[in-house]
Amino acid sequence: MVVEAVDFYGMSPEDIVKYLPGKDCGNCGYGSCKEFAVALSEGKAKVDKCPEMALRMRESLEGALSIKLEVHEADSSMSTVTETLIEVNSPGRDSPVLITGNCAVTLYVLKLIFDRAPDVSAWIVPTETKGFTIDHAAGMKLMTPMSVMRGLTNSGVSTKVDHRDLMIPGLCAGAERQIEMMTKWKVKVGPRSGFELPLLLSKER
C-alpha cells in the first residue's frame, strides 16, 4: 500500500531525544544524547548503541525507526475502514484508548507501527473523517467532539476498559476541552508523529 507523506511526519531529532536516557554519558559513541538522536534520525547510528536505555523503550524506538514507507500520491478513492474498534497487541482493561480517523491508509500505517512494538498495546477508535488522513481532517476540522463521541459509542470501548482516558492526535490539539465536555472522558493530546505513539505509551507505563 502506498501512503501520503504528510500524514506520517517522521520523527525529528527533537522527537527522538525525548525518549533517550538524557545522561549524556557518551557510551553510545556520541558526545550527547542530542548528537545521538541526530545520528539516529539520519540512519547513521543504531539504537542498541545506547546501553542505558530500557529494553521496552529500545525496542519501540528501533521499531519506529525501522519503518520505511513508500510515498506516492494520496489514495484517490478515500478508502475507509469498517471496523469501529481495533485491538492492537492484545489490549487489556487498562490499555490506552487512541482516537484516529477512518482513513484506511492511516489505520494501515498505525497497525504497522504497533506491529514493530509488540509489547505496547492499545485500543484504537476510528472516527468519521470522510476518509481523509489526519492532517487533512485536522485542517478541515472533521474530528469534532460529536464525531469522537459517536466513535466511542459505536466502538463500545467503554465496556472494555476501566478508565475514561483517551488520546487524540497531536494535529488535533485545541479540541480537547470541547471533547471532554461532550464525551465526559479525560483527553490527552498525543504526538504529531504516529511513529512516536509506542514510545510515548512505553514512557508512561
Q: What is the pLDDT of residues 143-159, one digit of tens each?
A: 999 999 999 999 999 99
Q: What is the Cα–Cα distance from 191 to 205, expressed in whole angstroms?
A: 16
Whole-number percent of the chain with pLDDT over 70: 92
Domain positions in the chain: 7-66, 86-204
**7-66 and 86-204 in the same fold:** no
Cell 527522538 sits at which residue?
16
pLDDT of residue 9: 66
Q: Answer whether residue 10 shows pLDDT above 90.
A: no
> In a 10 Å sphere around its CB, with 0-12 CB exposed, 13-18 middle and 19+ buried, how is residue 154 labelled?
middle
The radius of gyration of the chain's CA atoms, rounded to the nearest angstrom, is: 17
pLDDT of residue 118: 93
Residues 6+ away with beta carbon under 8 Å from 76: none
Q: How confident is the model at residue 4 (pLDDT cuts 50, 70, 90)?
A: very low
pLDDT of residue 110: 92
Average pLDDT over residues 161-183: 96
Q: Answer whether residue 8 shows pLDDT above 80.
A: no
Give the model confidence (pLDDT) of 45-76 as tens digits.
999 999 999 888 999 999 989 887 765 554 54
Give the model confidence (pLDDT) of 107-138 as tens digits.
988 999 999 999 999 999 999 999 888 888 88
CB-based contact 17:33 (threshold 8 Å):
yes
Q: What is the Cα–Cα distance from 148 to 126, expressed in whole angstroms?
A: 9
pTM: 0.88
Q: Note the CATH architecture for domain 86-204.
A: 3-Layer(aba) Sandwich (3.40)
pLDDT of residue 77: 53
Q: In what order do the strands lie in the sheet with 122-127?
A: 86-88, 122-127, 97-101, 165-168, 186-189
Whole-number percent of the chain with pLDDT over 90: 73
Higher pLDDT, residue 40 or 69: 40
The 3 state secondary structure assigned to the chain is: CCECHHHCCCCCHHHHHCCCCCCCCCCCCCCCHHHHHHHHHCCCCCHHHCCCCCHHHHHHHHHHHHCCCCECCCCCCCCECCCCCEEECCCCCCCCEEEEECEHHHHHHHHHHHHCCCCCCEEEEEECCCCCCHHHHHHCCCCCHHHHHHHHHHHCHHHCCCCCEEEECHHHCCCHHHHHHHHCCEEEECCCCHHHHHHHHHHHC
pLDDT of residue 56: 87
Q: Answer whether residue 96 shows pLDDT above 60.
A: yes
Q: How confident is the model at residue 201 (pLDDT cuts 50, 70, 90)?
A: very high
CB-based contact 147:153 (threshold 8 Å):
no
Q: Answer whether residue 5 shows pLDDT above 80.
A: no
Query: Cell digits for 3?
Result: 501512503
The domain 7-66 belongs to what CATH superfamily? Electron transport complex subunit B, putative Fe-S cluster (1.10.15.40)
